[in-house]
Amino acid sequence: MMYNFRPHRIKVYIVFLFFVSAIIFTCCKDSGDSTTSKTDLSELQQRALKISSPMPENAFTEGMNPSDELIGLGKMLFHEPRLSKSGFLSCNSCHNLATFGVDNLPVSIGHGWQKGVFNSPTVLNAAFHKFQFWNGRADNVEMQAGMPILEKVEMSSKKEHVIEVLHSIPQYVEFFRSAFPDDAEPIKYENVEIAIGAFERTLITISPFDDYLRGDETALSDLQKQGLTLFLETGCQTCHKGQVLGGEIFAHFQTPAERASGNISPGRFEITEREADMHFFKVPSLLNVVHTYPYLHDGSLWDLSQTVVLVAKEMLNKDLTDEEVDLLIEFLGSLSGVLPDEAMQLPVLPPSTSTTPLPDVTL
Amino acid sequence: MMYNFRPHRIKVYIVFLFFVSAIIFTCCKDSGDSTTSKTDLSELQQRALKISSPMPENAFTEGMNPSDELIGLGKMLFHEPRLSKSGFLSCNSCHNLATFGVDNLPVSIGHGWQKGVFNSPTVLNAAFHKFQFWNGRADNVEMQAGMPILEKVEMSSKKEHVIEVLHSIPQYVEFFRSAFPDDAEPIKYENVEIAIGAFERTLITISPFDDYLRGDETALSDLQKQGLTLFLETGCQTCHKGQVLGGEIFAHFQTPAERASGNISPGRFEITEREADMHFFKVPSLLNVVHTYPYLHDGSLWDLSQTVVLVAKEMLNKDLTDEEVDLLIEFLGSLSGVLPDEAMQLPVLPPSTSTTPLPDVTL
């Protein structure tokens, strides 16, 4: 059969060609412009992406649909000293957002100037940890948030006190109603935890390392890249891997200060009571590590270089040269990020009323 | 002589008429639109303007030419816990910007959980006070800022410690150089005071009462206007007058709690040692008074209504009815303002180095 030309087919061909062109154009555009296309990445970037990934904007997981009201309420509660017995301490006292979510003390100061047991970990990016606290006694930031409020040596409060304070302030009654619209009784301790957790899930820092993982080859200096290479070759990523380069597993660790005093913390054993967990501690995240001194679970080391040397020896039995330590520190510097402006904006807390329980600074 | 019409004169007349119209239009516009023209103000607004005036944007006086660098440095120092001996307390600990520049405690908690002597006044709008502290022992916010840092029961630091901390942090060396470009030795205690003072001079709250003073008749509710009228008729403005409705004079005052205990503070006498100043205290500002509880120099009264009743009786020998108290409270509510966003944005503090003095939480 001869080719039977039919004019109406021209339209079909033109439409077809248009779609093919559009598809080709789209594909070319994707592989050409995208900075995350694998083929564009350097070998080092690809190796780095095997142990971590760029930070997302927040740490909300599927099914979480946090409203601005919930996050805003969480921010207020994070800064709310009236949740504490004394009316003087808030989450922010020990997880100061002006100092990268830590207090830069070996152990925290709490109610009555009592000292905590472990070094306060940062709240920044904490939601990506698979366990909370050094001994992993909470599963997520929501569960974590509720604990220091009640701890005798921290905020020394009681659930009933927290609920009574919040109920006594009409603005909080309204804020909880807006944040938990489907809840018949919005003001309850569980919701305090959910709200603070929601705010903490927005405390995400974006660092030069993130930009590097996204494909920006210039985000790291040459020394930082050498440091990253050394990090991977030394084996640091055995423990310091994942979204926040840590926070995923527990490791056996005794600090020099503990050994010197003979007072060695049982660590995760206290939670699980399994002999295998004796002296095990959560591997900390390395994000913003330059700012989160002092180091180790007892906050006994102030110097990052000394900490790097110690951990390389203890965990990997490696003796690092001074030059290697310097390069690793260069890389660690690329993990410092900044919080979104919104997270750094202080809330205005509503005033107490005549029914608000008075602060009690006594022990 | 007959009128000798000359065509070229028409142009002159038109131009002349145009200018006259323009001038008339401009004049009408001025008296019609301007919200601050005296003739537009209600009688109550004019009476209010006799005792106070709308808040300016900041509290810098002539000759002060603060740079953004100076104010930014001041904000960092205001939030800087490393100025304290413990590394835990900053200006913001007791003058919390999330709670209107106060700690809402009768007396502040300081180093080692020690208690202060007087109730912490707010830093908001403080630069407009003619004297600082309840006993007026500092002349301005700069002089004030340097004192709690060194006070044993507050931040318990030493000038040498402050200077050593700042010198040890390269970013601070740079920030001081930018903030004090003409100073051969920018890091000195006096400059710490100047920088914190400069930041505090931006802590200005604009309230509905300010809008009212600017001519917005709708800025106050009817009840608030009745309260303002009563305020003026009762004589409250005898002491509570000026830019911040207080902060200008000293008045004799003994609190019921002091009388009950027999432990009556000498007040300004401690500073001047003049018998005439015995038990005299600075009249506090009324701005944001709804938020700056508890009240009086010993922070012994939590309830604003009770405070109004007490002060009216003590100072003016007036017995207020419940209705009058309610109206005065309505007016006082119109004095609550908000800080500029910039002031509420937390700074990011630079990290310590190996030469930074370590915090010392011991007494």
Instruction: List pLDDT tens digits, range A138-180.
Output: 999 999 999 999 999 999 999 999 999 999 999 999 999 999 9
* B19 pLDDT tier (thresholds 50, 70, 90): low
The two three-digit tokens of residue B117, written as one number: 């002597």
For residue A1, is pLDDT > 90?
no
* A40 pLDDT tier (thresholds 50, 70, 90): confident
- Whether B345 sits inside 8 A of A347 (CB atoms) is no
- Whether B88 sits inside 8 A of A81 (CB atoms) is no
The region that residue B139 occupies, defined by phi over 0 for left and psi between -120 and 50 for alpha, beta otherwise, is alpha
For residue B28, is pLDDT > 70?
no
Is the CB of residue A88 less than 8 Å away from at least one CB of chain B? yes
- Whether A104 sits inside 8 A of B96 (CB atoms) is no
Q: Rounded to a whole number, what is the distance in Å from the CA of B112 to chain A's nearest CA?
A: 6
- Whether B361 sits inside 8 A of A98 (CB atoms) is no
Is the CB of residue A361 less than 8 Å away from at least one CB of chain B? yes
Q: Rounded to a whole number, what is the distance in Å from the CA of A199 to chain B's nearest CA?
A: 16
φ/ψ (deg, to 5) at A338: -125, 150
Q: Rounded to a whole number, what is the distance in Å from the CA of B239 to chain A's nearest CA?
A: 25
Q: What residue type is B20 in one-letter code?
A: V
Cβ–Cβ < 8 Å for B239, B51: no
Q: What residue type is A276 in one-letter code?
A: A
DSSP secondary structure code for residue A133 in this structure: S
Q: How large a percentage of chain A has pLDDT more than 90?
A: 89
For residue A132, is pLDDT > 70?
yes
Give residue-wise pLDDT tens across range A302-322: 999 999 999 999 999 999 999
CB pairs < 8 Å spanning A and B: 92
Residue (of B196, B212, B205) closest to B92 by Cα position: B196
Q: What residue type is A69 in one-letter code?
A: E
The per-residue pLDDT for A208 is 98
Cβ–Cβ < 8 Å for B176, B363: no
The C-alpha atoms of residue B289 and residue B212 are separated, in whole angstroms, by 18
Q: Rounded to a whole number, what is the distance in Å from the CA of A351 to chain B's nearest CA?
A: 6
The C-alpha atoms of residue A120 and residue A297 are separated, in whole angstroms, by 8
Q: Give the pLDDT mean for B133-139.
A: 98
Q: Is A280 helix (H, G, I), strand (E, B) or coil?
A: strand
* B204 pLDDT tier (thresholds 50, 70, 90): very high
- Omega before residue A294 within 30° of 0, cis: yes
Is the CB of residue B99 less than 8 Å away from at least one CB of chain A? yes
The C-alpha atoms of residue B146 and residue B149 are separated, in whole angstroms, by 6
Is the CB of residue A250 less than 8 Å away from at least one CB of chain B? no
- Whether B112 sits inside 8 A of A113 (CB atoms) is yes
Please give the mean pLDDT across all residues of chain B.
93
Residue numbers in A near B351 (CB within 8 A): 290-291, 293
The C-alpha atoms of residue B215 and residue B231 are separated, in whole angstroms, by 19
The per-residue pLDDT for B13 is 54
Mutate to test the interface with A, among B80, B113, B356 (most CBs of A within 10 A): B113
Residue numbers in B near A346 (CB within 8 A): 97-98, 344-346
- What positions of B carry a catalytic annotation? 154
Question: Which of B80 and A4 is assigned the larger pLDDT?
Answer: B80
Is the CB of residue B338 less than 8 Å away from at least one CB of chain A? yes
The two three-digit tokens of residue A300, written as one number: 């006994």
Of B290, B293, B349, the CB nearest to A99: B349
- What positions of A carry a catalytic annotation? 154
* A29 pLDDT tier (thresholds 50, 70, 90): very low
The per-residue pLDDT for B33 is 42
Q: Which residue of B has its CA nearest to A289?
A: B351
Is the CB of residue A206 less than 8 Å away from at least one CB of chain B? no
The per-residue pLDDT for A31 is 42
DSSP secondary structure code for residue B31 in this structure: H
For residue B212, is pLDDT > 70?
yes
- Whether B348 sits inside 8 A of A98 (CB atoms) is yes
Residue numbers in A near B358 (CB within 8 A): 302
CB atoms within 10 A of CB B326: 16
Of A88, A105, A338, the CB nearest to B103: A88
Q: Is B13 helix (H, G, I), strand (E, B) or coil?
A: helix
Is the CB of residue A342 less than 8 Å away from at least one CB of chain B? no
The C-alpha atoms of residue A74 and residue A98 are separated, in whole angstroms, by 17
Give residue-wise pLDDT tens across range B342-359: 999 999 999 999 999 999
* B27 pLDDT tier (thresholds 50, 70, 90): very low
Is the CB of residue A354 less than 8 Å away from at least one CB of chain B? yes
Is the CB of residue B362 less than 8 Å away from at least one CB of chain A? no
